[in-house]
Amino acid sequence: MDDCIFCRIAKKDIGAKIVYEDDNVIGFDDISPQAPVHVIIISKKHIVSVDFIDESDADIMTSLMFSFKKIAEIKGIGNNGYRIVSNHKERAGQSVFHLHFHLLGGRDMKWPPG
């Protein structure tokens, strides 16, 4: 989708600091980091959110899930712990409507989140 910022990053139309890529997903540094490590992991395919995943996306979801520990290792936070979150719809604070997960680390995390 041409008007989707994350599709444009996936197509490399817009620059991003890519830290991980495979056939199905890309991980890149968040433009407005909320922790010393803040990586956004997206599906290359435009999927609006978790509500829109279907059975044919199983390979994509597998790639997303396996990407987390790889990215944590690349960023050097695999041993100390990190958080994976996905904001879903407006009330949770989703601002980009293309499936993505935040991987946050490099500092202590509070619970519950705000």
Of 10 and 60, which has the nearer Cβ to ligand 5GP?
10
Of 34 and 59, which has the nearer Cβ to ligand 5GP?
34
Copy the structure tokens of residue 101: 């997960």
CA distance 10 to 15: 9
CA distance 77 to 52: 31
- The answer to whether 56 contacts ligand 5GP (rule: CB under 6 A) is no
Q: Which does 28 bind (CB under 5 to 8 A by kind): ligand 5GP, Zn ion, none?
A: ligand 5GP
- The answer to whether 30 contacts ligand 5GP (rule: CB under 6 A) is yes
CA distance 4 to 111: 31
Residues involved in catalysis: 100
- The answer to whether 18 contacts ligand 5GP (rule: CB under 6 A) is no
- Cα–chain center distance at 19: 11
Please list the residues that pair with 103 across neighbouring strands: 39, 84
Of 5 and 48, which has the nearer Cβ to ligand 5GP?
5
- The answer to whether 16 contacts Zn ion (rule: CB under 5 A) is no
- Cα–chain center distance at 23: 15
- The answer to whether 48 contacts Zn ion (rule: CB under 5 A) is no
- The answer to whether 79 contacts ligand 5GP (rule: CB under 6 A) is no
